[in-house]
Structure 1
């Protein structure tokens, strides 16, 4: 019989020996992580060629696990999976058996920071739970309720993996240089050969460490840590629980309904599951856009600024390192490059990304009073700000353009962050210098961001004692880009200054940065609340819905990107339209597919349907859902 959620949660807690001090069912509600069972559906029994998958990962690890599908059951968590190289080491490196008896799945769950399963046989049940205790190591707890001897073994090892056993440490070496080690207690009797191992124990409650190493140096330093971990697993489990309890306590609001709290918890899980520790060319820890797809396994500039702004609320050290990671590659002229990877040869320095980093630093300052970090970053922040005016202001009028270093429209589109936006359909490139090109178009969002960065840099200068000596055109931006005939903000063409009359999400930005006048907001409300344009089923699409060029699946040409929806809603709130902002926030929470259920948070959503689009487990969307949640009702 399937256990109730309360009973399942209590079983997990008793197994963990956590700091929640659970003694009876009534106490379960005091431990936040267990109030959100099945936070995400990660049930996948993998095939070795399966490269796109969302998984359980934590603490910056480069490995992940899934829960097996019930109709393709393996009595063990699936994996590990190499997130960087997209390789499954095994279908299950540690699966549990009772004398060959078939195990039938019972309860499974993904709680924030923990996965759990139980399976039954004619002799009783086996419970398994897993948490990450470090970036290298996951700790598996096996509780044997059968009274019989049990064994563990690997299932479906990758053909490129070789195994060896030494003193109850199973080492699985992959030809790509990565290594998995399974560290077993000394009371296990291990039989092994070149292709697998079997380890047997009489214990009713035991722990196994599963560790992942990218290099020989990591492996050498990690072996003894894994052995020590098995000597005191309760301490590591308590640290994990305290960390996750701390995350959720900082985020969850008592005045919100459970479904919305669940969205907030899922957003935290999404951001932390995309945390990757420093490795090779990534010199600091940071957050990737999505661990579920291979093309997002790196750090991007404006993605990082958004992630850090959200992380400031509950994981400030990661927020700071996420920013440092991008500035590790700042060029001598001040440019922050587009994206960086473990292999620096893959880095993209053809373009930058929209300047939002001072906003992220300010969020870290406001939530943590971290003036030391502001002082650390200030010279680099100012250098990056000046770079825009030095390299992206073609006619030196103080209004900048998106561009690139190589003169291509492709890279200039990337620099805007809105790769294929309708507003860029007729753009051409203008040369500013040998290493600097601009669109023939001044962009309202870019200059609104720069005005906000300018304001914050002045604030930081007062805090740090540094001098702000950059250009300041902040008070000119709003009037320059406001199209009175349309009643909305638009880009302007060079050299004649004509408006690009394509009402789209870039027009939300001056309201978010609060440089627009009240009169401009009142005029823009006509478009913002028009159900044929921006007040759609999911509000505030990337292009006005009635634009003939708008496409429901057009990436930046129509779908919902939640950062832009957030900026529009926050803009309404900034100008006193809080009830309207709350109404639109509820439309996001209630209508985006799967947000309150078990589906992962996606890269974007269908404007008229709420359907999930593009990459799942997406940090960018999670960041802005947290901010919408935080603002709701205020």
Structure 2
């Protein structure tokens, strides 16, 4: 045997081994997410306004497909669903439905033995016809194209003449109650049918809360054969092909379905399709090898349930991966492809996504980081040069009106918590990509410094959340805006200061100015008050409407007043009032706002970031900078433990401050213990900044069944919190990122058994987490019921890392 032949034999053995591994690995993860569905309208919402099915998206695609959920739909992959720049809509019940006619009996072949499977990166279906079999498999082979392989086998001893008919129709219903013509009468959809392709074109249409299409937005269906007959009828089509299968012969056909946003993408996609159709099996094999690599990264010694949940997490994150398009300049991972509002790229979501994806899809982890830093503010920015160094909250396909776009999701009202360095460092540790680290280090330093120049109002080195200067927060002259409602308007408010709107017995005023806002709070006779900057400050924390930021409903406030002030609502309101400080530069220009409280977890994040920046500096050879960040971390550690911890309750809280500048003791003001406990109190454990004795007391609270140790553990407000409600976004629901921070915090301080027990409790009790339901945004702490957005990325990311970092199976020597 010569050397060349030996090498060929070895290569063949390796390839066979790889394929065997892939087959076995893939089959172990069948149907980790239920992807069946039959859409009857463009919008099929559940109670949380999610599209109610869970389509397969992959490879950065902007369209996805389902598995059939009934015999009539077999031969199709229902959909597609498209992201119309910002919003997900189904466009067809089944755009490409195959019917097999047996010409020997001159009627459609009866089908039986139906089988459908969702596999990692693949949808599969098969059914038997008389002495024959049909299989269809769908894979994404590029960021704009899905490939369907249709294989038809004649298992009989005689030749079979067959007619293959593909047909489809665009949906005519907008939702369950209204037609497309009723809701969007000017939205144009046209079909063009040629020998081997179908082109569906969408006319330019800009409806910021429903459909956003540019000229040239299209779905292109291209087949590997010329049709014998083509028919068009309005929004439906029909195409057919005659074949004759010899005994025991099989024949395969290939169809690509591409979705593009504009003419430029259409031209690029057409060029790619020539290569795909020239060697379709190569494209399929590339997909399978890519997914095999993802699966090979799974840790060993996991239970089957944990393995399947990790694969569900991978599928969720890869499903929410969007390739660069529009204003999104690098690939990014969105929070949820099926949630109505979540098809943009958020900052702190991105840090969490990248942290997990570094372990199985590091190239997209890097892209996701870069997508956000593409819009880091520079000193020559046309809109907000004063925010040099900041990362904005969220980017979408379309910029907003202030950036000369027409999108509705783009947000520059705030930033998000500083976890970027944490994600970048994890990517480096997994990839050892020094060039990437060098590229990001100066950007991370600028962002880190921004917090101290823009959110430290009293200059004591302890930072607040706040809001950027923005048209929804202040007038063009820099005066903060707010609205306030009264039964009787007090005399100090005049129509020259505010615009007035009357409704029934109430008067709503739209006012401006911090000093006037302070008078309104001090007078305290209002029935409701709303401040744009307060919402932005909550968003900036990521815990949008948490109790600590003054959010409490009327009933809860009344109960609070009864407990603490004998029913005095006016006195109770004072405990929940939020004040704002204007942060201005040396020339008096408004740079933004700080809320009147220093947040414990924000400063814990910054402590951790200082340590990471020191590690990055050391790695890159900047030893003096490393020493600088280490020294800052030591100093900040002392102040976090001194200023944010309450010895009476054994927990960390935010600290309320005044506008008075720092002199002497940094711990100015009072702890906000009366606003109850929340996950901010265990973030110092995750950051590794809490003193050991304080960590022990925090642990006691976390494990207390009257506080946080609920059926699904670690809710976002303790059961004792005055504003607790398990149905309110950040005032009781269980968010899995906060569970992760809490559990890993316990592990950091040696409480591994507690960490394991809480993880097991989460995985066991959160509704259908270990079954085929999608991973949810959050869960009810008492019932375990799924809540919020379906197919939620950061839940998936931190579930993946939680299972990776916490082994729920006790070691042999443990009880």
TM-score by length of 2: 0.73
SS at match of 2:80: strand
Q: Contact 1:454 / 1:474 at 8 angstroms: preserved in 2?
A: no
Give the equivalent residue in structure 1 for 2:728: 554
Give the equivalent residue in structure 1 for 2:323: 277
> Which of 173, 186, 192 is the matching residue for 1:164?
192
| Pair 1:210 & 2:384 matched | no
Give the equivalent residue in structure 1 for 2:579: 428
Mapping of 1:383-462 within 5 angstroms? Answer: 383-405=446-468, 406=473, 408-425=533-550, 426=576, 427-433=578-584, 434-462=590-618
| Pair 1:235 & 2:282 matched | yes
SS at match of 1:616: coil
Q: Contact 2:40 / 2:171 at 8 angstroms: preserved in 1?
A: no
* 1:218 positional shift: 1.4
Give the equivalent residue in structure 1 for 2:443: 380
* 1:237 positional shift: 1.1
| Pair 1:248 & 2:295 matched | yes
* 1:206 positional shift: 1.7
* 1:344 positional shift: 1.1
| Pair 1:185 & 2:235 matched | no
Q: Contact 1:532 / 1:545 at 8 angstroms: preserved in 2?
A: yes
Larger mean CA deviation between 521-530 and 469-478 belongs to: 469-478
Mapping of 1:267-306 within 5 angstroms? Answer: 267-306=313-352
Q: Which deviations, in whole Å up to 9, do the C-alpha atoms of 1:139-196 show, x marking residues without a partner?
A: 1011213544242423222464322233412211122342111111235434133541
* 1:456 positional shift: 0.8
SS at match of 1:246: helix
Whole-Å separation in 2 of the counterparts to 1:102 and 1:157: 26
Mapping of 1:113-192 within 5 angstroms? Answer: 113-122=121-130, 124-146=132-154, 147-158=160-171, 160-175=188-203, 176=213, 177-186=216-225, 188-192=227-231
Whole-Å separation in 2 of the counterparts to 1:66 and 1:626: 24
Whole-Å separation in 2 of the counterparts to 1:588 and 1:478: 29
> Which of 366, 377, 381 is the matching residue for 1:320?
366
Q: Contact 1:46 / 1:91 at 8 angstroms: preserved in 2?
A: yes
**Structure 2 CA distance for partners of 1:226 and 1:325, relative to 1, 3 Å:** same
| Pair 1:493 & 2:656 matched | yes
Whole-Å separation in 2 of the counterparts to 1:368 and 1:479: 38
Larger mean CA deviation between 458-467 and 212-221 belongs to: 458-467
SS at match of 1:628: helix
| Pair 1:339 & 2:378 matched | no
Mapping of 1:86-101 within 5 angstroms? Answer: 86-99=88-101, 100-101=108-109
Q: Contact 2:36 / 2:54 at 8 angstroms: preserved in 1?
A: no
**Structure 2 CA distance for partners of 1:56 and 1:19, relative to 1, 3 Å:** farther
* 1:201 positional shift: 4.3
Give the equivalent residue in structure 1 for 2:428: 365
Mapping of 1:48-67 within 5 angstroms? Answer: 48-50=41-43, 52=51, 53-67=53-67
Whole-Å separation in 1 of the counterparts to 2:110 and 2:723: 57
Larger mean CA deviation between 608-617 and 517-526 belongs to: 517-526
Whole-Å separation in 2 of the counterparts to 1:39 and 1:600: 9
Give the equivalent residue in structure 2 for 1:42: 35
* 1:117 positional shift: 1.2
SS at match of 1:87: strand
* 1:394 positional shift: 1.1
Whole-Å separation in 2 of the counterparts to 1:266 and 1:385: 34
Whole-Å separation in 1 of the counterparts to 2:189 and 2:595: 50
Whole-Å separation in 2 of the counterparts to 1:553 and 1:272: 29
Give the equivalent residue in structure 1 for 2:619: 463
Give the equivalent residue in structure 1 for 2:485: none
Q: Contact 2:682 / 2:741 at 8 angstroms: preserved in 1?
A: yes
* 1:277 positional shift: 0.2
Whole-Å separation in 1 of the counterparts to 2:291 and 2:16: 15
SS at match of 1:118: strand
Give the equivalent residue in structure 1 for 2:381: none
**Structure 2 CA distance for partners of 1:22 and 1:117, relative to 1, 3 Å:** farther
Q: Which deviations, in whole Å up to 9, do the C-alpha atoms of 1:70-128 show, x marking residues without a partner?
A: 27635300122212343333221211101234545711111111111123444543211
SS at match of 1:106: strand
Q: Contact 1:20 / 1:31 at 8 angstroms: preserved in 2?
A: no
| Pair 1:592 & 2:766 matched | yes
Larger mean CA deviation between 457-466 and 68-77 belongs to: 68-77
Larger mean CA deviation between 177-186 and 556-565 belongs to: 177-186
Q: Which deviations, in whole Å up to 9, do the C-alpha atoms of 1:548-567 show, x marking residues without a partner?
A: 42111111001110111111
Q: Contact 1:97 / 1:103 at 8 angstroms: preserved in 2?
A: no
**Structure 2 CA distance for partners of 1:243 and 1:482, relative to 1, 3 Å:** same
| Pair 1:626 & 2:619 matched | no
Q: Which deviations, in whole Å up to 9, do the C-alpha atoms of 1:558-617 show, x marking residues without a partner?
A: 111011111111011101111111111111111111111110000001111221100010
Give the equivalent residue in structure 2 for 1:33: 26
Give the equivalent residue in structure 2 for 1:9: none
Q: Contact 1:180 / 1:211 at 8 angstroms: preserved in 2?
A: yes
| Pair 1:220 & 2:371 matched | no
Q: Contact 1:291 / 1:617 at 8 angstroms: preserved in 2?
A: yes
Whole-Å separation in 1 of the counterparts to 2:59 and 2:754: 38
Whole-Å separation in 2 of the counterparts to 1:71 and 1:505: 48
**Structure 2 CA distance for partners of 1:102 and 1:18, relative to 1, 3 Å:** farther
Give the equivalent residue in structure 2 for 1:511: 685
Which blocks of at least 5 consecutive residues in structure 2 are unaligned?
Answer: 1-11, 45-50, 102-107, 155-159, 173-187, 204-212, 244-249, 379-387, 401-406, 474-479, 481-532, 551-575, 585-589, 659-667, 809-815
TM-score by length of 1: 0.93
Whole-Å separation in 2 of the counterparts to 1:189 and 1:517: 77
SS at match of 1:93: coil
Whole-Å separation in 1 of the counterparts to 2:18 and 2:542: 51
Whole-Å separation in 1 of the counterparts to 2:688 and 2:162: 67
**Structure 2 CA distance for partners of 1:560 and 1:497, relative to 1, 3 Å:** same
**Structure 2 CA distance for partners of 1:583 and 1:172, relative to 1, 3 Å:** same
- How many pairs were matched up? 615
Whole-Å separation in 2 of the counterparts to 1:633 and 1:86: 37
Could you say what the CA RMSD is over the residues aligned between the two structures, in angstroms? 2.2
Give the equivalent residue in structure 1 for 2:182: none
Greater radius of gyration (CA): 2
